[in-house]
A and B are shown apart, each in its own frame.
Chain A
């Protein structure tokens, strides 16, 4: 398994969901760093070493889609997955590589992450 070498940045303004998402992904052997806002996420990204961004959509300050646009303009080769509880896909969700629903549960999320990573040339 090559997941240990992969670092995922988990972005969510809510602490408990952020922590739990981090825990389930750690169980999949990913290395996780977490940020509580888009601003914090961009600071962490500046330091480098992140392979994938998994961000919540509805966050105060900067929306997931806004974060995605900034990320993609600075690091076009960095995959971004948005996760949301909203019932309508936002118009600019297409900037992200995937837009997944929170209701689907952990397995579809793992699947989406794995597929996106493979698309970007990572071997798992």
Chain B
């Protein structure tokens, strides 16, 4: 009893595990319903799907509509007997491999069996049927059928997978071809290097950026070729790359022409970790533009601040200046007090000088006038004459141009007073100042211009300082300078549509510092259609026409 229950439980488990697809169809054919019922009782335990047919005809109908694993059939049946049914099945290609078990109540001769085998039968069971035997036989065939079906499924799946994979490969190939085209189209420089840094791939973007052709660089160490400067230790980059598979940062590299470029670089470790893909974008121009913008913004902000401060200083300044004016000849002051007042007034002039420079573009008149450059320079030289004499400065003066320009004398005077004043101050122990005025052209536009060149053999300018010369509040004169002179001068010159250039030569103990101011020659203005002219300068000139 105990064992029986256990086996039942096992079978029901098996039944539960088998889904419909796994369950095999067993077709039982017999003209006697009682027999069909007894087969059903015997085979029910197998958990397969049992189908009953009362005649060969009915059996054929089931065969056509279902996938039958085993046919269990009585040999002797009216109309079509078992052998005839088997014969019919064998003629149909779908049923050639279907297992058939004959059940025969009469003794079967060997001849009968051979006949059965011929018609494709696989097994015989004689009556009385031993349930275990029948179950075992049916079970083997059902299992065989299932295995066959599984094999077929696997086969078709395999075929499907092969098909899919082939399609995928074809797609990949297209994709790769497309990617290769994209790589060539990309404006970014794209290259692949191995772990030693030797180049494996180099796209046309890289050719364009760095100047080397693909065939020239493949196999060469890329970062030596490009003289790459990394923002951190190279080993750190390698470590990040190994750990995360990626790295991003800006690099400084050198092109074939020897030009330095700043690039935004993305590195990615290729699958397998034996090569690195680097995508590089030239951001030199972008950085320059950003830097210029920042500088311009800073200058504009400083200009505004300077204006506000100047205004706040100017009010009390006027009061103090007036106070000193009143003190100057006051009868109650003795010699000593008057001397102190004089010192105070002199120092105050320095403050006034600074604020006047900061005020910058203060104009006496609204309309520009014709200004003689040589006259203007002579006026300034006269102001500086005593100082130059005192410092043993030799003046070489060459005015080779008519040198008249349209403008505001006060502004222009400020420009040259700054430049000549700087030159004089740079030669406290003597030297030579060369002042040249000649006709020239303005930068790339080629517009006619007057060039005023001021050179001195003074202390020279440190190359470190050179790039900051035209920035506000930059001074090399410690407390004596406002740091605004050249900044304001540049502003004025630019307003006229002109340019200011600086050069410094140093040889042994001799320094030569040259400032060149280019001012567009307005006499050529009408005939030259130049879009590059400063708009303000043009406006002022037309203003003059109206004012007479």
Contact = CB atoms under 8 A, between A and B. Distances in A.
B311 A87 contact: yes
Interface stretch (B69-77, B316-324, B401-409): B316-324
Interface string A92-123: 00100000011111100000000000000000
A4 interface: no
Contacts of A102: 314-315, 317-318
B359 A20 contact: no
A27 B326 contact: yes
Contacts of B356: 101, 103-104
A103 B315 contact: no
Contact of B325 (A17, A24, A89): A24
Interface residues of B, number: 26
B547 to A, nearest CB: 12
Interface in A65-85: 83, 85
A21 B317 CA distance: 12
Nearest to B308: A87
B431 interface: no
A101 B364 CA distance: 9
B415 interface: no
Contacts of B311: 58, 85-87
A63 interface: no
B453 interface: no
Interface in B353-394: 355-356, 358-363, 366
A1 interface: no
Interface in B402-454: none
A86 to B, nearest CB: 5
A94 B326 CA distance: 31
A103 B322 contact: no
Given A14-B315, A85-B310, A87-B310, A103 B326 contact: no
A29 B316 CA distance: 24
A103 B314 contact: yes
A23 interface: yes
Given A14-B315, A85-B314, A94-B366, A103 B325 contact: no
A90 to B, nearest CB: 12
Interface string A46-71: 00000000000010000000000000
Contact of A87 (B352, B360, B366): B360
Interface centre among B316, B321, B326, B362 (most CB of A within 10 A): B362
B352 A17 contact: no
Given A17-B319, A102-B315, A103-B356, A87 B326 contact: no
B322 A106 contact: yes
B307 interface: yes
Contact of B318 (A87, A89, A94, A103): A103
Nearest to B325: A106
A88 interface: yes
Contact of B319 (A16, A27, A86): A16
Interface string B307-341: 10011111111110111011000000000000000
A contact patch SS = helix
A106 B460 CA distance: 39
Nearest to B312: A85
A105 B310 CA distance: 15
A85 B318 contact: yes
B307 A20 contact: no
Contacts of A14: 315
Nearest to B326: A23
A16 B361 CA distance: 28
Contacts of B361: 87-88
B307 A87 contact: yes
Given A24-B322, A105-B321, A105-B325, A85 B352 contact: no
B184 to A, nearest CB: 57
A85 B359 CA distance: 9
A47 B25 CA distance: 129
Nearest to B345: A105
A97 to B, nearest CB: 13
Contacts of A105: 321, 325, 352
Contact of B322 (A21, A58, A86, A94): A21
B488 to A, nearest CB: 12
Interface centre among A83, A102, A103, A105 (most CB of B within 10 A): A103
Given A87-B310, A87-B360, A23 B322 contact: yes
B460 to A, nearest CB: 33
A38 to B, nearest CB: 17
Contacts of B310: 85, 87
A102 B319 CA distance: 9
Contacts of A88: 307, 361
A87 B359 contact: yes
Nearest to B307: A87
A14 B362 CA distance: 23
A94 B359 CA distance: 19
Interface of B: 307, 310-319, 321-323, 325-326, 352, 355-356, 358-363, 366
7 contacts: A14-B315, A87-B307, A87-B358, A87-B359, A87-B361, A102-B314, A105-B352
Given A87-B362, A101-B314, 9 more contacts: A21-B318, A24-B326, A85-B313, A87-B310, A88-B307, A102-B315, A103-B317, A105-B352, A106-B325
A-B pairs, 4 with minimum CB distance: A85-B314, A102-B318, A20-B322, A87-B359
Interface of A: 14, 16-17, 20-21, 23-24, 27, 58, 83, 85-89, 94, 101-106
